[in-house]
């Protein structure tokens, strides 16, 4: 009997020794451990992509709602409830195709004695993959401030602070016809919303950036204001004994160059 136990103990010891030296399953173990990390990383990328897409849609919806509510407030400054309803309607319309969100509490309020309309609240999106890392949702709007955004309006007074807006307008050939007219109407509406008459205390400025190398101004007076007066109508440059090249003053204007190109200094000859 003792012989049997000794042989059995020897067999088990040999098996354990061979198992300890066997390296054939190392890759499978490492792959299994790495697979968990890879799945979480891919899932985090998917959740982040969904969050960015929904966030862009939400911010765009808030901006559109504020402009629409501001326009309604300009039309009838006493109907604050109507302006808020218009803003809410535009917000709801612009988030219909947004990814499903939770806890959307975005609301609109008329502030600054009827001179502005603001948005506040929050919205979140679920994170199915990041939930495995105990991150169950991500905020679509900043939660560090009580006010998401505000539209300062030209409603009989200033907006209580300086305001500067830049608009890039596509005026290339593809916009010919009704599309260009719609662009003009929309740009004019925005300017009427945000630029107030009294510029003494707080200023509001709109920069127009054409999506083109140069633009043609509508009148000679506007052209003189843009480039100054006293410019020669043509300039001849001699290029050799065979002839010369003549440049004629164009009715179009381009971006200013030189030391004053980023300033508000009035145009002058050569500047």
Residue 73 has pLDDT above 90, yes or no: no
Q: What is the mean pLDDT of residues 5-29?
A: 62
Residue 3 has pLDDT above 50, yes or no: no
pLDDT (tens digit, 9 = 90+) per residue, 227-253?
A: 777 777 777 776 666 677 777 778 788
The pLDDT mean for the chain works out to 79
pLDDT of 49: 92
pLDDT of 52: 93
pLDDT (tens digit, 9 = 90+) per residue, 160-181?
A: 678 888 888 888 778 888 998 9
Three-state SS annotation for the chain: CHHHHHHHHHHHHHHHHHHHHCCCCHHHHHHHHHHHHHHHHHHHHHHHHHHHHHHHHHHHHHHHHHHHHHHHHHHCCCCHHHHHHHHHHHHHHHCCCCCCCECCCCEEEEEHHHCEEEEECCCEEECCCHHHHCCCEEECCCCCCCCCEEEECCCCCCCCCCEEEEEEECCCHHHCCHHHHHHHHHHHHHHHHHCCCCCCCCCEEEEEEECCCEEECCCHHHHHHHHCCCCCCEEEEEEECCEEEEEECCCEEECCCCCCCCCCCCCCCCC
Residue 2 has pLDDT above 60, yes or no: no
Least confident of 105-114, 123-132, 141-150, 199-208: 141-150
pLDDT (tens digit, 9 = 90+) per residue, 34-60?
A: 877 888 888 889 999 999 999 999 999
Q: What is the mean pLDDT of residues 140-152?
A: 72
Closest CA to 62 of 92, 27, 91, 98: 91
- Which of 8-12, 49-53, 193-197 is most confident? 49-53
Residue 119 has pLDDT above 60, yes or no: yes
Closest CA to 183 of 209, 161, 204: 209
pLDDT of 240: 66
pLDDT (tens digit, 9 = 90+) per residue, 213-229?
A: 777 787 888 888 777 77
* Measured distance CA(123)–CA(131) in Å, rounded: 17
* Measured distance CA(215)–CA(171) in Å, rounded: 8
């Amino acid at each position: 009997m003792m012989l049997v136990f000794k042989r059995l103990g020897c067999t088990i010891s040999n098996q354990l020794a061979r198992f300890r030296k066997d390296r054939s399953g190392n890759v499978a173990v490492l792959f299994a451990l790495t697979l968990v990390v890879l799945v979480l990383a891919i899932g985090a990328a998917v959740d982040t992509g969904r969050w960015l897409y929904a966030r862009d849609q939400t911010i765009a919806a808030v901006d559109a709602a504020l402009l629409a509510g501001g326009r309604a407030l300009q039309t009838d400054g006493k109907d604050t409830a109507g302006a808020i309803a218009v803003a809410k309607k535009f917000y709801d319309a612009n988030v219909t195709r947004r990814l499903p969100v939770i806890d959307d509490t975005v609301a609109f309020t008329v502030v600054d004695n009827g001179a502005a309309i603001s948005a506040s609240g929050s919205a979140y999106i679920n994170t199915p993959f990041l939930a495995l890392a105990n991150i169950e949702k991500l905020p679509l709007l900043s939660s560090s401030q009580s006010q998401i955004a505000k539209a300062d309006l030209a409603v009989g007074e200033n907006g209580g602070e300086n305001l500067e807006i830049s608009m890039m307008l596509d005026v290339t050939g593809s916009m010919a016809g009704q599309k260009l007219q719609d662009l003009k109407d929309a740009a004019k509406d925005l300017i009427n919303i945000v630029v107030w008459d009294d510029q003494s205390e707080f200023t509001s400025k709109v920069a127009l950036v054409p999506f083109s190398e140069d633009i043609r101004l509508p009148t000679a007076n506007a052209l003189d204001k843009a480039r100054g007066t006293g410019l020669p109508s043509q300039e001849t440059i001699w290029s050799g004994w065979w002839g010369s090249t003549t440049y004629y003053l164009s009715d179009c204007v381009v971006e200013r160059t030189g030391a004053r190109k980023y300033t508000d200094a009035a145009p002058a000859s050569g500047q």
